[in-house]
Chains A and B, each alone.
Chain A
Amino acid sequence: MTTTYGGYMGRILDINLTTQEVKEYPFSDRERELYIGGKTMAAKILADHLTGNETAFSEDNLLVVSTGPMTGSGAPSSSRFNISTLSPQTGYLTSSNCGGNFGYYLKKAGLDAIVLHGRSDTPVWLEISNGKVQFHAADDLWGMKTSETQATLDEKLKLPNGRVRKNGKICIGPAGENKVLYAGIVSNERVAGRGGTGAVLGWMNVKAVCASGNQEVKVIEKEKMINHTQKWFRYLRKHPLTGQQLPYMGTAGLVSSMQMRGLLSTRNYSAGQFDDFEKVSGERLAEEYNIVNKGCLTCPIRCARTVEVNGKHVKGPELETLVLLGSNLANNNLEAILRWNYELDELGMDTISTANTIAYAMEANEKGLWNNGLSFADTENLSAVFEKIAHREGIGDELAQGSKRLSEQYGGKDFAIHAKGMELAAYEPRKAAGLGLGYAVSNRGGCHLNGGYLVIVEGLGLYANPTTWHGKADLTMMFQNLMEMISASGQCLFTSYAMFPQLLLNHPNSWYARLVNTVIPYCGGVVRILNKFPQIAAIHLPVFHHTKAFEYVTGMKMPFGRYLRCGERGYNLEREVNRRFGVNAGKDALPKRLTDVLQDAADPTSKVPLAKLKKVYYRARGWDKNGLPTKRLLKKLEIEENSHV
């Protein structure tokens, strides 16, 4: 299988774990034009196979690990890869994006993606070298934590001269082996945490996959790409978000801003501010614990922190982990959070869902619904609880199901903070209506990024009236489409923040910044026109470097309007797959605490006006009243063949 486009290696492997048979998965250039790569390519592959009768843990489920054409191209922050499968948490399609270096090395191995299906009789690990797959017994690795697994694999990959062959790895920890519903997949210190992809890999009896090789990514217009990339790097380094805030403080730097805007999830989302926020803030992390900044391959942003835990230098916590193991558990012990973050990565467990599930359990205990011994602020024994979850022992076996299932068993659905079964991220949405909408309609469940991350204009980067519903639905749609495409192309979503003009962020009190903040809620109509007629944006925006780079790498024409259309196609395709598993307007929901209870009793707008937002959102997307893409829309997006309408 070959391709005329740059950026692609032109090969996808179909790996049957039951029979250990490996063959090429056909994917044409026409499909590359439509489905690009990453999560959208994976959605297409899943759409071609899933009928709606499968479960996450069934032999006809697939797990797709895919890269985008920009992965390994040398563009900024382009070492991303994606893992998609049917989620054991939500029962819908999930996609989890990860940094690290596996994507880069999968391309070095000559592949754009691998499609795993079936189930091995015994634990295995896969070695992929220059496109060839070898199955190895993994009995000795089974039970190991993630760093030990990766170190042991490096030993196995030693060359005769004693040096370790350069490789990228993904692996699961005990949580994946034991099918904890929110187990993730780890690559180096990075985690594809969300949606339970690790549980699916564990169910397949695959402990790890290693990729290596010496293939090169072809760039169609190399000279132009080098010049463009240099400019882009400089631009990112100068930008206040990608050049200052994220490198200086990482995502953790948001804790203080969230506190000030009432967005800091506290005590299981019962409040948006935490009295002790400074004790778990990014400032404190940077001043007292950060040893060095780290970044993925080719990333100038370098948002990762390195901290010391038990004498070892390990990855520091991201914002989500800080907040959800901090304020959301009423815990102000930062050192404990550093340790827990490390322990959860070692066990291969999503910190967001773990922490949220524990917060639910604490509140259920407090309310007398479930006597489980867990209490807010009393976090002495959480390490032991994590071990129990990962090994499904005692109370851990129950907690391993996540907050949705627990609330169905013990009650308290109003405060089980999830959407479609996946727990929400760290932002409390009652002071950011667009964010709340995004959580509810997100294809993979309670995710801020898949939800469009509108909070960036609702109080973090800009300050457009955060609680109004005006304009939010249209903007959510546009941001979702944009981020879908950035992700599909193999780049980090953080690069998109640089599209917010520096002038606005550097001078937030200026008349023009105030004007933009005022106007944003009234931009819905313009966004909708752009979405309907993307050809009017047949240009490259000076603040959005992705489109030109995409053209230089692949040779495909990709003006901004088409870029958005590709994202729209991807988002609708995922929704279309989810339709087969029963998604509809009723499933785009949030717990009542966020939609019916005011965060601030004195502010009647401090709840998510979800019903109104959804109505406008469905109209903006061209979906029917039941929240599903119409036949006409699918035809317009050229995905009607995947339709189950």
Chain B
Amino acid sequence: MYKVQLLGIVRLKTGVASLELDEKQVTTLHDLKGMLPGISRKEADDLLVLINGGKAKKHYRFKNGDTVVFLSPAGGG
């Protein structure tokens, strides 16, 4: 199993905070982007993705215990 966290605007848009997924069913980042609730693949492609705190490759294959984070660019004060 691995954990998917949606942060920032994407979380407010989708209404989903996090998901627990099976790496045997949704195996790659590419697959995951196509099944995020409430947003299209195109929108998902425009989100920043971090896997275990680091940069993510497009076809990264998930492992048990991974943490995947989706978020958008931000700014404030």
Residue in B closest to A507 when the chains form the complex, CB atoms? B46
Within 8 A of B (CB), among A239-297: 240-241, 244-246, 248-251, 253-254, 256-257, 260, 278, 281-283, 286-287
Within 8 A of A (CB), among B32-77: 45-48, 50, 53, 69, 71-77
- Verify B73–A283 contact, CB threshold 8 A: no
- Verify A318–B48 contact, CB threshold 8 A: no
Residue in A closest to B45 when the chains form the complex, CB atoms? A509
The majority secondary structure among interface residues of chain A is: helix
- Verify B73–A246 contact, CB threshold 8 A: no
Within 8 A of A (CB), among B1-23: 7-9, 11-12, 17
Residue in A closest to B55 when the chains form the complex, CB atoms? A463
Residue in A closest to B76 when the chains form the complex, CB atoms? A251
- Verify A506–B9 contact, CB threshold 8 A: no
- Verify A260–B53 contact, CB threshold 8 A: yes
Distance in Å from the Cβ of A294 to the closest Cβ of chain B? 16
In the complex, A236 has a CB within 8 A of chain B: no
Checking B11, B12, B75 against A497 with a beta-carbon cut-off of 8 angstroms, the contacting residue is: B75
Could you say which residues of chain A place their CB within 8 Å of the CB of B11?
Answer: 283
- Verify A249–B7 contact, CB threshold 8 A: no
Distance in Å from the Cβ of A449 to the closest Cβ of chain B? 6
- Verify B69–A260 contact, CB threshold 8 A: yes
Could you say which residues of chain B place their CB within 8 Å of the CB of A246?
Answer: 75-76
Complex Cα spacing A245 to B47, Å:
13
Complex Cα spacing A504 to B75, Å:
13
Within 8 A of B (CB), among A50-107: none
Could you say which residues of chain A place their CB within 8 Å of the CB of B53?
Answer: 260
Complex Cα spacing A138 to B71, Å:
51
Distance in Å from the Cβ of B48 to the closest Cβ of chain A? 5
- Verify B45–A256 contact, CB threshold 8 A: no
Checking B50, B71, B77 against A449 with a beta-carbon cut-off of 8 angstroms, the contacting residue is: B77
- Verify B46–A245 contact, CB threshold 8 A: no
- Verify B50–A260 contact, CB threshold 8 A: yes
Interface string of A477-516 (1 = CB under 8 A from B): 0000000000000000110010010001111110000000
Could you say which residues of chain B place their CB within 8 Å of the CB of A494?
Answer: 76-77
Interface size bracket, A side: 35 or more
Checking B12, B17, B50, B76 against A254 with a beta-carbon cut-off of 8 angstroms, the contacting residue is: B76
In the complex, A319 has a CB within 8 A of chain B: yes
Complex Cα spacing A254 to B69, Å:
14
Could you say which residues of chain B place their CB within 8 Å of the CB of A462?
Answer: 73
Complex Cα spacing A253 to B13, Å:
14
Chain B residues bordering chain A, tally (CB within 8 A): 20
- Verify A260–B76 contact, CB threshold 8 A: no
- Given the known inter-chain contacts A283-B17, A508-B46, A508-B48, please indicate yes or no for A256 contacting B77, CB distance below 8 A: no
Distance in Å from the Cβ of B65 to the closest Cβ of chain A? 16
Distance in Å from the Cβ of B41 to the closest Cβ of chain A? 13
- Verify B71–A260 contact, CB threshold 8 A: yes
In the complex, A456 has a CB within 8 A of chain B: yes
- Given the known inter-chain contacts A283-B17, A509-B45, please indicate yes or no for A244 contacting B9, CB distance below 8 A: yes
Could you say which residues of chain A place their CB within 8 Å of the CB of B46?
Answer: 506-509
Distance in Å from the Cβ of A557 to the closest Cβ of chain B? 30
Checking B9, B45, B69, B73 against A461 with a beta-carbon cut-off of 8 angstroms, the contacting residue is: B73
- Verify A249–B77 contact, CB threshold 8 A: no
- Verify B48–A509 contact, CB threshold 8 A: yes
In the complex, A460 has a CB within 8 A of chain B: yes
Could you say which residues of chain B place their CB within 8 Å of the CB of A244?
Answer: 9, 72
Complex Cα spacing A173 to B49, Å:
45
Could you say which residues of chain A place their CB within 8 Å of the CB of B74?
Answer: 241, 245, 253-254, 257, 460-461
- Verify A251–B77 contact, CB threshold 8 A: yes
Checking B8, B48, B50 against A245 with a beta-carbon cut-off of 8 angstroms, the contacting residue is: B8
- Verify B73–A460 contact, CB threshold 8 A: yes
Distance in Å from the Cβ of A254 to the closest Cβ of chain B? 5
Checking A248, A319, A509 against B77 with a beta-carbon cut-off of 8 angstroms, the contacting residue is: A319
Could you say which residues of chain A place their CB within 8 Å of the CB of B45?
Answer: 509
Could you say which residues of chain B place their CB within 8 Å of the CB of A507?
Answer: 46
Distance in Å from the Cβ of A442 to the closest Cβ of chain B? 14
Residue in B closest to A496 when the chains form the complex, CB atoms? B75
- Verify A283–B75 contact, CB threshold 8 A: no
- Verify B9–A249 contact, CB threshold 8 A: yes
Complex Cα spacing A32 to B19, Å:
57
Checking B7, B8, B72, B76 against A319 with a beta-carbon cut-off of 8 angstroms, the contacting residue is: B76
Complex Cα spacing A245 to B71, Å:
11
Could you say which residues of chain A place their CB within 8 Å of the CB of B50?
Answer: 260
Could you say which residues of chain A place their CB within 8 Å of the CB of B75?
Answer: 241, 245-246, 254, 456, 460-461, 497, 500
Most buried by A among B8, B9, B11: B8
Distance in Å from the Cβ of B12 to the closest Cβ of chain A? 5
Interface string of A106-147 (1 = CB under 8 A from B): 000000000000000000000000000000000000000000
Complex Cα spacing A281 to B47, Å:
19
Within 8 A of B (CB), among A282-340: 282-283, 286-287, 303, 318-319
Checking B7, B47, B71, B73 against A241 with a beta-carbon cut-off of 8 angstroms, the contacting residue is: B73
Distance in Å from the Cβ of A175 to the closest Cβ of chain B? 22
Within 8 A of B (CB), among A197-249: 240-241, 244-246, 248-249
Could you say which residues of chain A place their CB within 8 Å of the CB of B9?
Answer: 240, 244-245, 248-249, 253
Distance in Å from the Cβ of B70 to the closest Cβ of chain A? 10
Complex Cα spacing A296 to B17, Å:
30
Distance in Å from the Cβ of B10 to the closest Cβ of chain A? 10
Complex Cα spacing A372 to B54, Å:
40
Complex Cα spacing A462 to B51, Å:
18
Complex Cα spacing A497 to B73, Å:
12
- Verify A283–B48 contact, CB threshold 8 A: no
Residue in A closest to B74 when the chains form the complex, CB atoms? A257
- Verify B76–A245 contact, CB threshold 8 A: yes
Distance in Å from the Cβ of A513 to the closest Cβ of chain B? 9
Interface string of A615-630 (1 = CB under 8 A from B): 0000000000000000
Complex Cα spacing A453 to B76, Å:
9
List the 7 shortest-distance A-B pairs measured between CB atoms, nearest first.
Answer: A251-B76, A256-B7, A241-B75, A497-B75, A257-B74, A254-B76, A461-B75
Give the interface of A toward B (CB within 8 A): 240-241, 244-246, 248-251, 253-254, 256-257, 260, 278, 281-283, 286-287, 303, 318-319, 448-449, 453, 456, 460-462, 493-494, 497, 500, 504-509
Chain A to chain B contacts (Cβ below 8 Å), 10 pairs: A245-B74, A248-B12, A250-B76, A260-B53, A283-B7, A287-B12, A493-B77, A494-B77, A508-B46, A508-B48
Known: A253-B74, A508-B73. 8 other contacts (CB 8 A): A251-B76, A251-B77, A260-B50, A283-B8, A283-B11, A448-B77, A460-B75, A508-B72
